[in-house]
Amino acid sequence: MDPFDFHNPVRLRFGVGVFDEIGGCASDYGSDALVVTGASSARKSGLLDRTLERLEEAGVAATVFDRIMPNPTDEIVDEGAELAHEHGVDLIVALGGGSPMDAAKAIAIAATHEAPIRDYLRVEDRLEATEATLPLIAATTTSGTSSELTPFAVITTVSATMKSAIRSPYIFPRVAIVDPEATITCPESVTANTGVDVLAHLMEGYFSTEANPLTDLFAERGIKLVGRWLPRAVKDCEDIEAREMMSLANVYAGYVLSNCGASVMHGLEHPISALHPEVAHGAGLAVMMIAYAEHYWDRDPYRFGRIAQLLGRGIADAPVEQSAEFASDALRGLLASIGLDIGLEDLGVALEEIERIVDDALLYMGGAIAKTPIDLSRDDLIDLLEDSFTSR
């Protein structure tokens, strides 16, 4: 066995009811917080008011920044950082799904560093965050992205039409609050899209050049949970058992992602939603999953065979490798069950945009693509997207 490293410094509070610990967790790290959240969902669900009440009870003052949109931009991050600086906050509290959490991480950097956040995202000569970064508490309201457990913040740079990630140990949240009850208000579409993101993180980490025995354990367990519980969570958004199991799968995905990073599917999806900000991240990943398995199952038959088995499509009483070619069928069935058996054309992507998407991926997501244990050429990536153009 080769030497390997596993690291995740985030304190995890998991379970029904832990959301109300947000005030006490925050007070361990500051007394004046910027609460970063989306424009409406946390307010409509009552979770924003609940957060402010818990913070007040713990003696933490709060300023709300509720302008985060899906696929947050560098411009909105700089706006939030200016507000944080103006109020002299010493703590960031992220409330919501991946977009608010990613934006909150970037605000934690920009609020205490002079350069605009785009300078931490550029392809060449990018700046690095320092220990001046504000501490962060992250309370997730979706089972997807795993941002509450990772050192990544994905931000779109408007001027460059580029969606890339900051990676820094300083943006690991100090505490991740994962309360399945807080995800119940997620509608069916959000539940499906974020669930696919969980699956993509698990699969990409499982196939990553950075995979190790511990991440493999988390990946296999998480994939099995997604296969069993995601359709049920989509069918009944108030099914607390399904929500709890998907929250756990998301935690497993967070440990995989924080150690392995993403690979080819995320590498290609980021340029897709940079060009089309209206595209939900999970939907952008869903379009590639079946074609990915069809193209590459024979490159790693053991792992593709395990995915087929974990999703209930393997051949009983046969060597794992014999199930590999059925991984695409297993993924097709899962995606169909949640309404995401779609193609790029369903997302509004034009066929003639594919070459630009691939070139953008190679420009600023090349590191992710390189973690795929297959030597993928530009033509290979174009073929993968062309085969993902229509629904499978």
Express each pLDDT in 57-84 by its tens digit.
Answer: 999 999 999 999 999 999 999 999 999 9
Q: What is the predicted pLDDT for the residue at 392?
A: 77
Q: Given this chain, do its domains 11-183 and 188-386 carry the same CATH topology? A: no
Q: Which amino acid is present at 303?
A: R
The answer to whether residues 65 and 78 touch, using CB atoms and an 8 Å cutoff, is: no
* Token code pair at residue 7: 């690291």
11-183: CATH number: 3.40.50.1970
Q: Residue range 114-139: average pLDDT? A: 97
Round to whole Å and give the CA distance between 390 and 149: 34
Render pLDDT for 171-203 as a digit per residue (tens, 0 to 9): 999 999 999 999 999 999 999 999 999 999 999
The answer to whether residues 260 and 371 touch, using CB atoms and an 8 Å cutoff, is: yes
The answer to whether residues 85 and 92 touch, using CB atoms and an 8 Å cutoff, is: no
Pairing of strands 175-178, 11-14: parallel
Q: Which residue has the tokens 């990073």?
A: 261
* Token code pair at residue 93: 């509290």
Q: What is the predicted pLDDT for the residue at 302?
A: 97
Render pLDDT for 144-167 as a digit per residue (tens, 0 to 9): 899 999 999 999 999 999 999 999
Measured at the CA of 319, the angle between CA 316 and CA 325, to 5 degrees, comes to 80
pLDDT band at 41 (very low <50, low <70, confident <90, very high): confident
Locate the domains of the chain by residue range.
11-183, 188-386
Round to whole Å and give the CA distance between 12 and 177: 6
Q: Is residue 140 helix, strand or coil?
A: strand
Round to whole Å and give the CA distance between 207 and 300: 8
- DSSP 8-state assignment for residue 94: E
Q: Is the dihedral of CA 296, 299, 300, 306 positive or negative?
A: positive
* Token code pair at residue 213: 């025995």
Round to whole Å and give the CA distance between 288 and 200: 10
Per the CATH hierarchy, to which homologous superfamily does domain 188-386 belong? Dehydroquinate synthase-like - alpha domain (1.20.1090.10)
Round to whole Å and give the CA distance between 318 and 160: 50
Burial class of residue 2 in the structure, from the number of CB atoms within 10 Å of its CB (0-12 exposed, 13-18 middle, 19+ buried): exposed
Give the Å distances, CA to CA, from 301 to 37, 42, 111, 201, 353. Answer: 42, 43, 47, 19, 32
